């Protein structure tokens, strides 16, 4: 049987960094094929190539055995490939029915007509959504349903679901799986991306596992179990050298308690979480994307305003604190190093020196109202040497540097503020291998010098390599703590997926 959709030796690079490398993938007609892997394993990139969002850097995409290149998602959709995105792609100011028929409107588009048709259609899918509701008024799960309904309505032959069940209640999940079974019976092929391994095992015919952008294994779902999948997801090949766990590495002890968080809650992302951070050691926080780890860190450092009506307490060195903006947190010595340096990490029109000096000014550490350019250059000189930033000189603009050097500047910006507690959110994302080792060295030195260091990462080897103790975050709270003696990749991953 010819696969309906096939990828042969497909690679995709973003700005010279490979997201996936030489991946083969085949989707048979009428099968449910699960795609599993850690964050950053390349699942989303792979499916986005199939759906025409990205174009492969090399390799072939075959539809019904013939090579095809999709220039846009619309073209892929026209050829029967629909993708239901994680981040919803509906038009919020239109009604449910209008969204379902978007792009398929008749010349004379009577609302009454499409409401009736949409009502019948949604009923046939067993979705309890009112077609006259505006999408902006819907909850996350209902939006998901409308997305799915739209894909089904387009008579897609291939539907790609990216984390469809994350927002659904058990009841809705039940309907969703029934729908998948029905679609499958109608001959629709389904690609299912999920972090929920049980769901993948229950509904798929075959499972493909990716790791570090490469294909690991594809096999019938019956030949897998939970432990096998986790082993395949975390087994290392590529970066083993960099992250080889130094068993002899001495684990740092507990210093004084710097931060304690008790029953902190905030909206849907942080639910009743409690943990402590100690000086002179690195606390690693592992969690998959959406597990609330970034939000927790941002609340502690004032980047997200903590509202009064949300519960919990944050104590910094025994004193209860509640920050509305980052500025008072910085003055108290709590600094957050962002995971998204391009958006909130540095100033793109400014030089390295200006970027670093700006944070000294903003922390009021030099008590100056007038800028001293000599002080600025001296400061830049000190920090570029300390962190080994590779640039022509300190007047080079940060935007022109490589990812690793940009990250070093972002870290230097935080370190000039003399933090007591520094939170690194994904400190090595988008950084080349050589710079990763240097960044790890910097982070280790900070802990050795007595700072309380938190490293948030969704990359297990990084956590295992850096941390002195590991907290695992899941569904908005810290669910488990491991000492380095008991921590293994399998145990941590088991705690992080539900």
Partner 1 sequence: MDFSKAFRLLNQERIVFLLTVVLFVTFSLTLSNFLAAGNLLSLVRSVAVLGILGLGMLIVVLGRGIDLSLVATMAISVAWAMQLVSEGMPVYAAMTTGLLFALCISLVTGILVAYAEIPPLFSTLAMATFIYGFGRAHMITGTDVVYMPKNMGWIAELGQGHFLGLPMPILVAAVMALLVFLFLKYTKLGAFIYAIGDNLPASRIGGIPVRPMLALQYVISGGIAFVAGIITATSVEAMNTRVVNSNMIYDVILVVVLGGVGLSGGRGNVRNVIVGTLLIGVLMNGMTIMDVQYTIQNVIKSLILLLAIVVDSIVNPRDEQTGQQGDI
Q: Is the Cβ of residue 127 or residue 336 nearer to partner 1 in the bound state?
A: 336
Q: Which of 158, 129, 159 is nearest to 141 (CA)?
A: 129
Q: Is the Cβ of residue 56 or residue 135 nearer to partner 1 in the bound state?
A: 56
Q: Are strands 421-425 and 452-457 parallel, antiparallel or unpaired?
A: parallel
CA separation for the pair 59, 67 (Å, rounded): 10
Q: Is the Cβ of residue 54 or residue 215 nearer to partner 1 in the bound state?
A: 54
In the complex, the smallest distance separating the C-beta of residue 253 from partner 1, rounded to whole angstroms, is 31
Segment contacting partner 1 by CB under 8 A, of 224-232, 235-243, 311-319, 338-346: 338-346
CA separation for the pair 488, 455 (Å, rounded): 17
Report whether 414 contacts 359 (CB < 8 A): yes
Binding marks (x or -) toward partner 1, 341..380, rule CB under 8 A?
A: -xxxxxxxxx---x---xx-xxx----xxxx---------
**Which residues, at least 6 apart from 240, have a Cβ–Cβ distance to it below 8 Å?**
none
Q: Is the Cβ of residue 197 or residue 335 nearer to partner 1 in the bound state?
A: 335
430 binds partner 1 (CB under 8 A): no
Q: Is the Cβ of residue 41 or residue 330 nearer to partner 1 in the bound state?
A: 330
Q: Pick out residues in 223-242 that bind partner 1 (CB under 8 A).
A: none
Q: Is the Cβ of residue 303 or residue 496 nearer to partner 1 in the bound state?
A: 303
CA separation for the pair 47, 151 (Å, rounded): 15
CA separation for the pair 360, 357 (Å, rounded): 5
Q: Which of 337, 295, 305, 302 is nearest to 316 (CA)?
A: 302
14 binds partner 1 (CB under 8 A): yes
69 binds partner 1 (CB under 8 A): no
Q: Which of 62, 70, 72 is nearest to 4 (CA)?
A: 62
Report whether 216 contacts 230 (CB < 8 A): no
418 binds partner 1 (CB under 8 A): no
Going across the sheet that includes 66-67, the strands are 17-27, 5-14, 58-63, 66-67
Report whether 264 contacts 270 (CB < 8 A): yes
Report whether 213 contacts 19 (CB < 8 A): yes
Q: How far is CA 272 from the centre of its chain?
A: 22
Tell me whether residue 143 is exposed, middle or buried, using C-beta atoms within 10 angstroms of its C-beta: 0 to 12, 13 to 18, 19 or more: buried
In the complex, the smallest distance separating the C-beta of residue 326 from partner 1, rounded to whole angstroms, is 5
Q: Is the Cβ of residue 254 or residue 347 nearer to partner 1 in the bound state?
A: 347
338 binds partner 1 (CB under 8 A): yes
In the complex, the smallest distance separating the C-beta of residue 268 from partner 1, rounded to whole angstroms, is 22
Which residue(s) pair with 44 in the sheet?
A: none
Q: Is the Cβ of residue 1 or residue 370 nearer to partner 1 in the bound state?
A: 370
Segment contacting partner 1 by CB under 8 A, of 155-163, 223-231, 244-252, 319-327: 319-327
Give how many residues touch partner 1 by CB under 8 A. Answer: 32
CA separation for the pair 185, 28 (Å, rounded): 13
Going across the sheet that includes 319-321, the strands are 270-278, 257-266, 313-316, 319-321
Q: Is the Cβ of residue 178 or residue 325 nearer to partner 1 in the bound state?
A: 325
Q: Pick out residues in 46-65 that bind partner 1 (CB under 8 A).
A: 54
303 binds partner 1 (CB under 8 A): yes
Q: Is the Cβ of residue 238 or residue 399 nearer to partner 1 in the bound state?
A: 399
327 binds partner 1 (CB under 8 A): yes
CA separation for the pair 42, 235 (Å, rounded): 15
Q: Is the Cβ of residue 332 or residue 438 nearer to partner 1 in the bound state?
A: 332
From the list 190, 285, 316, 330, which residue makes contact with partner 1 (rule: CB under 8 A)?
330
Enumerate long-range contacts of 488-492, CB under 8 Å, 24 or more apart: 489/234, 489/460, 489/461, 489/464, 490/227, 490/230, 490/231, 490/234, 492/286, 492/460, 492/463, 492/464
396 binds partner 1 (CB under 8 A): no
In the complex, the smallest distance separating the C-beta of residue 365 from partner 1, rounded to whole angstroms, is 10
413 binds partner 1 (CB under 8 A): yes
Alpha carbons within 13 angstroms on the beta-carbon side of residue 222 total 1
In the complex, the smallest distance separating the C-beta of residue 323 from partner 1, rounded to whole angstroms, is 11
399 binds partner 1 (CB under 8 A): yes
Q: At what angle do helices 433-448 and 403-415 cross, to 10 degrees?
A: 20
In the complex, the smallest distance separating the C-beta of residue 425 from partner 1, rounded to whole angstroms, is 11
152 binds partner 1 (CB under 8 A): no
In the complex, the smallest distance separating the C-beta of residue 334 from partner 1, rounded to whole angstroms, is 11
In the complex, the smallest distance separating the C-beta of residue 429 from partner 1, rounded to whole angstroms, is 16
Q: Is the Cβ of residue 202 or residue 399 nearer to partner 1 in the bound state?
A: 399
In the complex, the smallest distance separating the C-beta of residue 364 from partner 1, rounded to whole angstroms, is 8
Binding marks (x or -) toward partner 1, 101..120, rule CB under 8 A?
A: --------------------
| Alpha-carbon dihedral 486, 231, 191, 83, rounded to 10 degrees | 40
| Residue ranges binding partner 1 (CB under 8 A) | 14, 54, 303, 325-327, 330-331, 336, 338, 342-350, 354, 358-359, 361-363, 368-371, 399, 413, 417
């Amino acid at each position: 049987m010819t696969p309906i959709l096939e990828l042969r030796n497909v690679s995709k690079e973003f700005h010279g960094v490979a997201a996936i490398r030489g991946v083969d993938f085949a989707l048979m007609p009428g099968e449910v094929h699960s795609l599993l892997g850690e964050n950053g394993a390349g699942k989303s990139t792979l499916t986005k190539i199939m759906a025409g969002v990205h174009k492969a850097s090399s390799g072939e995409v075959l539809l019904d055995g013939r090579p095809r290149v999709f220039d846009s998602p619309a073209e892929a959709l026209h050829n029967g490939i629909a993708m239901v995105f994680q981040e919803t792609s509906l038009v919020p100011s239109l009604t449910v029915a209008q969204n379902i028929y978007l792009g398929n409107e008749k010349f004379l588009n009577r609302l009454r007509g499409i409401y009736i048709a949409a009502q019948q259609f949604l009923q046939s899918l067993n979705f309890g959504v009112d077609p006259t509701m505006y999408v902006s008024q819907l909850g996350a799960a209902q939006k998901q349903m409308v997305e799915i309904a739209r894909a089904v309505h387009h008579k897609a032959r291939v539907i790609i679901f990216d984390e469809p069940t994350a927002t659904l209640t058990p009841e809705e999940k039940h309907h969703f799986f029934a729908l998948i079974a029905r679609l499958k019976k109608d001959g629709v092929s389904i690609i299912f991306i999920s972090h929920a391994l049980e769901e993948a095992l229950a509904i798929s015919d075959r499972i493909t596992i990716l790791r570090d952008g490469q294909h690991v294994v594809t096999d019938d779902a019956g030949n897998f179990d939970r432990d096998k999948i986790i082993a395949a997801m975390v087994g290392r090949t590529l970066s083993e050298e960099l992250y080889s766990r130094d068993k002899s590495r001495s684990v740092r002890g507990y210093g004084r308690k710097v931060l304690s968080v008790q029953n902190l809650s905030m909206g849907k992302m942080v639910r009743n979480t409690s943990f402590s951070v100690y000086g002179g050691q690195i606390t690693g926080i592992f969690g998959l994307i959406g597990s609330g780890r970034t939000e927790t860190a941002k609340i502690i450092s004032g980047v997200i305003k903590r509202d009064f009506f949300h519960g919990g307490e944050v104590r910094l060195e025994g004193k209860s604190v509640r920050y509305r903006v980052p500025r008072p947190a910085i003055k108290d010595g709590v600094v957050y190093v962002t995971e998204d340096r391009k958006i909130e990490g540095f100033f793109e029109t400014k030089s390295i020196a200006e970027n670093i000096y700006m944070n000294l000014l903003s922390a009021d550490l030099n008590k100056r109202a007038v800028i001293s350019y000599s002080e600025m250059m001296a400061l830049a000189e000190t920090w570029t040497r300390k962190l080994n930033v590779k640039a022509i000189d300190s007047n080079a603009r940060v935007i022109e540097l490589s990812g690793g050097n940009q990250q070093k500047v972002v870290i230097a910006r935080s370190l000039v503020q003399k933090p007591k507690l520094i939170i690194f959110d994904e400190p090595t994302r988008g950084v080349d291998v050589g710079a990763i080792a240097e960044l790890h060295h910097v982070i280790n030195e900070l802990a050795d010098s007595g700072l309380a260091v938190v490293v948030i990462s969704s990359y297990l080897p990084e956590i295992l390599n850096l941390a002195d103790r590991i907290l695992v975050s899941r569904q908005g709270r810290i669910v488990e703590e491991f000492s380095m003696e008991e921590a293994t990749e399998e145990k941590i991953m088991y705690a992080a997926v539900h």
